[in-house]
Structure formats: C-alpha cells, structure tokens
A = this chain, B = another copy of it.
Amino acid sequence: MKLLFVVMDGLGDRPISEFGGQTPLEYAKTPNMDKLASLGMNGLLHVIAPGVTPGSDTAHLALFGVDPYEYYTGRGPFEAAGIGLVVKEGDIAFRTNFATINPEGVITDRRAGRIREGTDQLAKLFEGLEIDGIEILLEAGTEHRAALILRGDGLSDQVSENDPHVERKEPLEFKPLDESPEAEKTARVLTSFVMKARTILNNAEINKKRVEEDLLPANYLLIRGAGKVPKLPNFEEEYCLETACIAGGGLYKGIGRMLGMHIIEDSRMSGGTTTDLSAKFEITHNALNDYDFVFTHVKGTDNYSHDGKYKEKSEFIERVDKELYRFLPENYEGDLVIMITGDHSTPCSFKDHSADPVPILIYSPDCRRDKVEKFGESYAVDGSLGHILGKHIMGIALNEMRLVRKFGA
C-alpha cells in the first residue's frame, strides 16, 4: 500500500464576497478532489494548534510528525539544505539575498533586479573563505536567493539580520541577541564577511557587465533567518517508508532532505505559480512505483494568496485538481492512500498566513467514508476526522496503510 501526500501551500482561505461567500477552494471546480472527499474522510487540520499561525517551515515539520517547538531553530538551515548545501549539525545557516547597494550605502533593490543568471559564479568567488577561523559557505539558489553557512566553534544563531526589509534604507547592523560570547562572535564574523563580500562583489566581472548593460549589480548580501542546524529525526527510519519529496521550492526540498527523504529534482518544477503542474504530477505518478510515500508540494496557491489574487488562486487549484485524475481509484493500479491538505491558511483578504484551520481529506479503499461530498473549508466541518492536529496525521495515514504500530499489546 502506497501513500500520496499532496500539500497545497497556503490552501485555506476565507469567504470571498465576489465568490458569493465561497473560498477560492470552494469556488474552484474540483471534481477529482470532490470525488476523493466523497469516498474518503474529511476534517479540519490545525497544523500546529488551534489559534497558532504557522510559518511554512514549522508547518511542514508538524505535518511530518516533527514537533517544531522542539526542533525548529530558524528557516536558514532548511533553505541551505534545499539549495543543496550539505548542512552539518551545529552549523549556523542563513537565508541570503543578492541585493543592490549604491555607493552611499543605501539598498536600492533587495533582490538585485531579481537577477537570474550568474549568481553561481558570484558565489564561487567566496570559495575557501575563512574569517576568524570560521569557514564561510555561500551557495546560490534560484533567482536572487542564496544560502550562507558559518561553520566552526563558538557560534550562535542568536544574531539579528541585516535586511531592512524595505528599499531605500541602509542595511541594518548585525547584533547579538543574547549576551553570550558566541552571539557576539557570530555578529562580528557576519559584519566582517558582509564588508568583504561588498568589495568582492563590486569587483566581480559579472557585476561590471551588469552595470554596463544597465542592470542592477548583485553587489551586496542581505542575510536573515539564522538557525543552528538541528539534528532531525530520520523520517524513513521513523516510519519505515521509502519516501520521495517532490517540490520546487527550496524550503520544502530542504526540509525533506534534512528528514532523510529522497529529493526528486526537475527543473520544470519552479516552486511558484509558473510550475509545470502536469510534469510535477507525472513525476509523482512515476515516483509511486519506486517509493512507499510520495510527498508532493505545490506552492502557487500560497503565492497567489500573498498577492490577494483569489481568482488566480482558485484557477490554480482547478489546475492542480485536473492533474489528480491519475490517482482516482478507477485510474490507479494498486492500493493507494491519498492525503490532501494545506500547510496553513493564507486568506487572500489578509495576504498573509492565518491560524484558520485547513481542510484535509484522507482517502483509502476501505476507510470509514463520511457524508462530506466536496473538498472545502465549510464542507470539512461535517467530516468524520473532526478537528485534528498536524502531529496526528502521519499516524492516521499509516493506519489507512495498515502499517499499524501497536502501543501496548
């Protein structure tokens, strides 16, 4: 028996008056998800706890049965692992942007004009760099994104960021967030690194060429999301499931990698609204031949939510639904448990995460079917799963897979 776990990021929403009070999910035509909802069990998922608004990082830990209150230190480690850096327990990892600073020291673009090419070569300029005996690892990600690792003794993740989060401002100073010598040292290393980086980047051929071409140079590094790399439980060992992680976004690949999942990479998956959904679900379909558990993450729903684009969100959900035909009981050969939900709500009216629960459906061939016939926030209220927590769903899914681990005898 196999398990397909589809997470639509930021799926949950609130009533949209232009949709007659329906949410984007309820408004969307989703015959395949409705079919699975009607054959399966439905409920409302509080990914961390009722009234708690999750980040995407803490949410995914909780969905995989890992307590974020115990293991979460910051987003940096997952982003670094997602980009492909081999993180080691104890490393201090950060999310990083290539940005543009003007000669007066003012950030003019936090994303260096959303630079797409050349960041790999820029990152290479830092190879072998050490400051105060601390190894510096910089790795470029998609567009302006990068990840930074400080590796060495006497470091801490209790440091502030230098990202002012708005443009036309000077970068902030790195400051220790506690009084430990480790935090003080980390802030000092970061300050010195960013100064060096500004010189190195300003002198880089790529940036000189960008200036000649009237493009914004990637001549500064904005660094945030400090986290000390934690030792996470190994998901495959924990659940005895060969597991594949199918995601475009770096964060999700990073979480999967740090949990010991197999990451399936494919450049057609962008981690955004432009992703090739058909390719993603074709890859998912194939992965179900080789793995017991396939986790497929879709990011576009959240991106549209953060922009308040409820129509586009609804249409994107319809596009996801179309691709799910492959997994309907009449089309799929073999026994498959299907779990579909979101990692949190991102109401389009609010343009940010909220604590509203997300609908969840769990289908298996012989589950206790409930009376819910459609997949959606308000329908899920009547489902047999009731209100459940993120930490419970892996157990419920394993139960459907008949992979029962009895507690007691």
- In the complex, whether A271 has a CB less than 8 A from a CB of chain B is no
- In the complex, whether A399 has a CB less than 8 A from a CB of chain B is yes
B56 and A409: CB pair below 8 A? yes
Per-position binary interface string of chain A over residues 54-84, scored 1 when its CB falls under 8 Å from any chain B CB and 0 otherwise:
1111110000000010001011000000000
Per-position binary interface string of chain A over residues 1-35, scored 1 when its CB falls under 8 Å from any chain B CB and 0 otherwise:
00000000000001100000101000000000000
B404 and A53: CB pair below 8 A? yes
Contact of A370 among B48, B378, B384 (CB under 8 A): B378
Chain B residues with CB under 8 Å of A209's CB are none
CB distance from A161 to the nearest CB of B (A): 11
Chain B residues with CB under 8 Å of A382's CB are 381-382
How many chain A residues touch B (CB < 8 A): the figure is 61
Contact of A51 among B51, B366, B399 (CB under 8 A): B399
- If the complex has contacts A395-B355, A402-B350, A408-B68, are A366 and B55 also in contact, measured as CB distance less than 8 A? no
Chain B residues with CB under 8 Å of A407's CB are 48, 52-55, 58, 68
Stretch at the interface among A148-156, A285-293, A310-318, A385-393: A385-393
- In the complex, whether A356 has a CB less than 8 A from a CB of chain B is yes
Chain B residues with CB under 8 Å of A53's CB are 399, 404-407
CB distance from A24 to the nearest CB of B (A): 13
B57 and A384: CB pair below 8 A? no
Bound Cα distance A368, B388 (Å): 18
B14 and A368: CB pair below 8 A? yes
Chain B residues with CB under 8 Å of A370's CB are 378, 381
Which residues in chain A, 185-201, are within 8 Å of chain B measured between CB atoms? none
CB distance from A17 to the nearest CB of B (A): 9
A386 and B386: CB pair below 8 A? yes
- In the complex, whether A225 has a CB less than 8 A from a CB of chain B is yes
A44 and B399: CB pair below 8 A? no
- In the complex, whether A181 has a CB less than 8 A from a CB of chain B is no
Chain B residues with CB under 8 Å of A232's CB are none
- In the complex, whether A398 has a CB less than 8 A from a CB of chain B is yes
A386 and B387: CB pair below 8 A? yes
B368 and A58: CB pair below 8 A? no
B75 and A408: CB pair below 8 A? yes
Per-position binary interface string of chain A over residues 341-374, scored 1 when its CB falls under 8 Å from any chain B CB and 0 otherwise:
0000001011011111000000000111111000
Contact of A404 among B44, B349, B354, B383 (CB under 8 A): B354
Chain B residues with CB under 8 Å of A15's CB are 366, 368-369
Give 16 CB contacts A-B under 8 Å.
A14-B366, A14-B367, A23-B368, A49-B392, A49-B395, A50-B392, A51-B392, A51-B398, A56-B409, A74-B409, A349-B366, A350-B402, A352-B404, A354-B402, A371-B381, A386-B387
- Interface residues, chain A, with chain B CB atoms under 8 Å away: 14-15, 21, 23, 44, 48-59, 68, 72, 74-75, 225, 347, 349-350, 352-356, 366-371, 377-378, 381-384, 386-389, 392-399, 402, 404-409
